[in-house]
Amino acid sequence: MSLLRRRHAAAIAIFGLAALAPLAVHDAFLLHTVVEILLWGALAAAWNVASGYAGQVSLGHAAFFGIGAYSAALFGTRFQQSPWLGMLAGVVVSVGAGAVIGYLSNRLRGPYFALSTIAFSQVLLVVASRWRGFTAGSEGIPVPFRPGLWSLGLGHVAWVYLALAVAVLYYLLQVYLDRSRVGYQLAGVREDEDAAEALGIASRRLKVLAVVLSAALTAVCGSLWAQFVGFVDPFYVFSVDLSVRFALMTIIGGAATAVGPFLGSILITSLETYLRATFSGVKTGFTGIYLVIYGTALILVVRFVPEGLAGLAGRVRARRRRRPQPAVAGARQ
């Protein structure tokens, strides 16, 4: 029990605080930020499944996010249907798209795979912004607010708990990937695909599955995000910026760790919200400051804590325990 508590201490603290937030705070802006942190954290966790755990680094996950966002918005506006049905459609489309992208990962390795994912998201951007008859083109889609759970027109408190449920679910899924047989096998594929194959792991199938799962999880959050924010803009939902954001939060927090994406989301989301609030009046010069901060944070993390914030916590804990490591003579990198 104590082991369980220690291993999940950070996650329990984060989700516990989020659960208590609506009871303690009534400020809409703060609650809005809590929802954002949870949703972005869940999105980073979704990215982590394909890119962290399976090692198939995607810089095009905005594609799946956009598919989810557009599905929810179009179901609400064009077909007068529940965004939940839109979410379902978004998941189905993303699974298909994820299978294609996942298949590509068997042909293209490393940077070539990442480039092809960018291209994929850009193609969807062109489609969404030009297909005026269906998507309303570059004007985007305002999502109508219809109160109720079925129509996903919720107040801030309800949003906190919905986002929390999704975040906890994604966290638990990652914990499963940490411990289970398939998690070990994914780690093998990530570290060395040829060696994994020789050890009986069907690496190609496993990679496709990871990308498909990651795509579906991303689409779910895309739908929720569209309903939460109330507007879908193709140049935002399919942007490379967004894809980079998922990657950045996960890497800063700790890739291939369950809590990492949420730590990264807390840091990046609160930083960005703060900067936006502080510098919003200053239109000249400071509008892009958050990008400078992103870049600086990334450089610092890669230089000093390449395993991310989650790894930093583990390192401090290990030092406190001072577990002796067996000395290895002549160890080389």
Partner 1 sequence: MSALLALDRVTKRFGGLTAVRGVSLEVHAGDLLGIIGPNGAGKTTLFNVISGTYAPDEGRVVLDGHDVTGLPPHAICRLGLTRTFQIVKPFGNLSVLDNVTIGSLARVTSVRAARVDAERVIETCGLAPYAATRARALPIGLRKRLEVARALATRPRLLLLDEVMAGLTPSELGGIVDLVRRLHAEGLTLIVIEHIMAAMMRLAQRIAVLHHGELIAEGPPAVVAADRRVVDAYLGEEFVLAEA
Q: By CB under 8 A, name the binding residues for partner 1.
A: 179-181, 184-185, 187-188, 191-192, 194-204, 325-326, 328-333
Give least dist CB 173 to partner 1, A.
16
Give least dist CB 187 to partner 1, A.
6
Give least dist CB 96 to partner 1, A.
25
- Any bridge partners for residue 148, and if so which? 153
Give least dist CB 189 to partner 1, A.
10
Rounded CA separation 166/129 (Å): 29
Nearer to partner 1, 284 or 325 (CB): 325
Nearer to partner 1, 203 or 243 (CB): 203
Nearer to partner 1, 187 or 305 (CB): 187
Rounded CA separation 170/164 (Å): 10
Backbone angles phi, psi at 141, to 5 degrees: -125, 120
Give least dist CB 249 to partner 1, A.
21
Nearer to partner 1, 232 or 255 (CB): 255
Nearer to partner 1, 34 or 206 (CB): 206
Nearer to partner 1, 162 or 210 (CB): 210
Give least dist CB 179 to partner 1, A.
6
Rounded CA separation 109/112 (Å): 6
Nearer to partner 1, 93 or 206 (CB): 206
Give least dist CB 245 to partner 1, A.
25
Nearer to partner 1, 136 or 201 (CB): 201
Rounded CA separation 205/226 (Å): 32
Sequence letter at residue 52: G
Give least dist CB 54 to partner 1, A.
14
